[in-house]
Amino acid sequence: MKRHFDVAVIGAGSAGSVVASRLSEDTACRVVLIEAGGWPADPNIADPSKWPALQNRDYDWAYRTVPQPFTAGRVHEWPRGRIVGGSSCLHAMAHVRGHPDDFDAWAEAGGPGWSFKALLPAFIRSETFRAFRNASHGTDGPLSVHLPDDEVSPLVRDFMAAGETLGVPRLTDHNSGPLSGVSPNSLTIDKGRRVSVADAYLSADVLARPNLTVLTDCQVDHLQLEGMRAARLACVVNGEEIKIEADRFVLCAGAIGSPMLLMRSGIGPRAALKEAGIECRIDRPEIGSNLQDHLLGLGNVYSAKRPVPPSRLQHSESLMYLNSDDHSSNDGSPDIVVACVVAPSAAPGLEAPPYGSAYTLLFGVTHPLSRGRLLPRSGDRHLPPIIDPRYLEAEADRATFRKAFDAARAIGHHPALAAWRAEEVLPGPATRTPAEIDSFIATAASTHHHPCGTCRMGSDPSSVVDPDLTLRGLDNLSVVDASIIPRIPSGPINAAVVAIAEHWCRQFEG
């Protein structure tokens, strides 16, 4: 079977759902959206409280890192959605745009078109905040964003009060004005149900468009090239190979899927491709490098002196962004974060009390300096990539992580939480010196699930994609997803990924 389209969008995750939806608004544009996974069928996906249990199911790519020397030699599990909606079907639903200054690095990389000011219309266009009617929040975009009020746990209210007493600014939300401060999390939840980006952008009306074709359970194996152009996709459906031709290709396969597909197609760092037995067609040394992720310490756990009521949301109900040198300052982009989870949350290998009898303060670094990379094992799509995030390799990351832990502990021991706190269980009172804290962090640090940066956008010739997100070396292929991010923003990145896709699509508006 061979079929021809104007645009082929590869990956129906957060970015791909937006791109396919927006491009198919033009009825003359024949769009095909190709997804390796199927339509969501598991009812647990829609239930916000179930998100931690969705991992390792058959719609999770279930990646693993290589052992990480600075996190006690541990292998880290990296869930990624293999389903229509992609990782937005598995994610924890927090909606945080990031601090405006975070995007200075993007503008430095790709010019003023990537500043926060330039991206703001894309954020606004994507969102509907039901709690606000003002110019800085979206009011009629596809993605429904909920700012909880009554549902916030009493424990979390006391966590926010502890922060306030320590001078941390109390914010209405994390998506307007300063980011440093504490607020309940804005969540992509509507009427108690998860809103994946596919739910938002691929509604029944959109799917009914005659010019939009969605192919599910269809994995793109590789791209076939003709000169300086991508000619077709070699895909596999039910074990059978099909070819899809298009004038333009938009790679939205995510921070792992996009660089891996390019490398399987012979586009990547020559030496690494040779090592994996892949013929190099276009030598692009940076593909797969610049890998960044947020880590969270799981966690500073407390046993409770009274039952902890179950979350009515998604367990992690409030983020507190802080400047580590002055917790009362909300100047500039924060460097650490503390989150309150109304459940025991401990990294594999650490023991926490049972559910209902404990709570957790998570802590992390917003702008890690450590950079990792992805490498192919071979050209065989069945073999997972070598994922080496080089967590905590930079000494500065370890030092800032210690400050984040100290902040969590200061809040955890605050009198405002006295009605809840029985005792600190993890790491426990014996952990005091910087060396002891470092060693706890090494065992507790776990992914916050924000890998990005593996097809870096920039104006410089060694960047993977140019500021228009066109792959350098192939003028009819764009990468539009988390992999183009030059530097990770402060917060969870889904809102930024959606904004990248919205921003990129604007150029095609008539």
Q: Which of 68, 289, 431, 494 binds ligand FAD (CB under 6 A)?
A: 494
Of 250-258, 333-341, 390-398, 465-473, the window that binds ligand FAD (rule: CB under 6 A) is 250-258
Amino acid at 406: D
Least distance (Å) between residue 189 CB and ligand FAD: 11
Q: Does residue 4 have an active-site annotation?
A: no
Contact map string, positions 86 to 105, toward ligand FAD, x by CB under 6 A: xxx-xxxxx-----------
Question: Cα separation of 449 and 77, whole Å?
Answer: 9
| Cβ pair 298, 310 in contact under 8 A | no
**For ligand FAD, which is the closer residue by CB, 146 or 450?**
450
Q: Please, which of residues 196-235 interact with ligand FAD by CB under 6 A?
A: 219-220
Q: Please, which of residues 254-313 interact with ligand FAD by CB under 6 A?
A: 254-255, 257, 261
Question: Cα separation of 54 and 50, whole Å?
Answer: 7
Question: Cα separation of 445 and 447, whole Å?
Answer: 7
| Cβ pair 364, 296 in contact under 8 A | yes
Amino acid at 315: H
Of 8-16, 21-29, 364-372, 429-437, the window that binds ligand FAD (rule: CB under 6 A) is 8-16
When asked if residue 173 is in the footprint of ligand FAD (CB under 6 A), the reply is no
Least distance (Å) between residue 440 CB and ligand FAD: 23
Count CB-CB contacts under 10 A for residue 42.
14
- Looking at the DSSP assignment, which residues form a beta bridge with residue 364? 296, 337
**For ligand FAD, which is the closer residue by CB, 254 or 458?**
254
Q: Which of 22, 97, 174, 449 binds ligand FAD (CB under 6 A)?
A: 449
**For ligand FAD, which is the closer residue by CB, 26 or 217?**
217
Task: Extract the tokens encoding 114.
Answer: 């990537």
Tell me, letter by letter, the H, E, C secondary structure of 282-302.
EECCCCCCCEECCEEEEEEEE
**For ligand FAD, which is the closer residue by CB, 11 or 458?**
11
| Cβ pair 298, 345 in contact under 8 A | yes
| Cβ pair 85, 17 in contact under 8 A | yes
**For ligand FAD, which is the closer residue by CB, 437 or 488?**
488
Amino acid at 93: M
Q: Please, which of residues 29-48 interact with ligand FAD by CB under 6 A?
A: 34-37
| Cβ pair 485, 459 in contact under 8 A | no
Residues that bind ligand FAD (CB under 6 A): 10-16, 34-37, 79-83, 86-88, 90-94, 219-220, 252-255, 257, 261, 449-450, 481-482, 492-495, 497
